[in-house]
Every structure is written in structure tokens, then in C-alpha cells.
Amino acid sequence: MEVTDFKALQKWAELPKNIQELIVKNVFCPDCGMTTIVRYTLHNDKAGIVLKGKCKKCGHDVARFVEDE
């Protein structure tokens, strides 16, 4: 994981490690279906966090949005 947004990193750190792992391993790739996101960056959003990275299987760009609670 690369850090691009300190606020997003703070929000991410508040999530339990097991939830972080579930999120990282539950990303949709248009080519592979459900996959794991790798080489991702964290971005703050007014409603949560956005993970942007690559599909572990094919390398396609993928993203995952995590809403604030």
C-alpha cells in the first residue's frame, strides 16, 4: 500500500485488521470478477475511503469504495 492521503490513512487505520483484509480481498475486476486488490493507494472521500490499485490476477485497474460509518 502506498500512502497518498493522510486523512484516508487515518480512517483506514481505524478499521480492524480483519475488516481491512476482507475489503482488500473483495474487489471487483471487470475481467476476473471477484479478486484481491494489490499495489493500492488510499484516497479520502467525503463519504469514506477509496482504494485504487491493480487486480492481483490480471493487473487491470480496480477500485473499492468503503463508506464511513
In order along its 69 residues, the chain shows pLDDT tens digits of 665 689 999 999 999 999 999 999 999 999 999 999 999 999 999 999 999 999 999 999 999 999 997
Q: Given this model, what pLDDT does residue 69 score? A: 76
pTM, 2 dp: 0.90
Closest to 4 measured CA to CA, from 50, 62, 46: 50
> DSSP of 30-67, one letter per residue?
TTTEEE-EEEEEEEEETTEEEEEEEETTT--EEEEEEE
Alpha-carbon span 4 to 19, nearest angstrom: 21
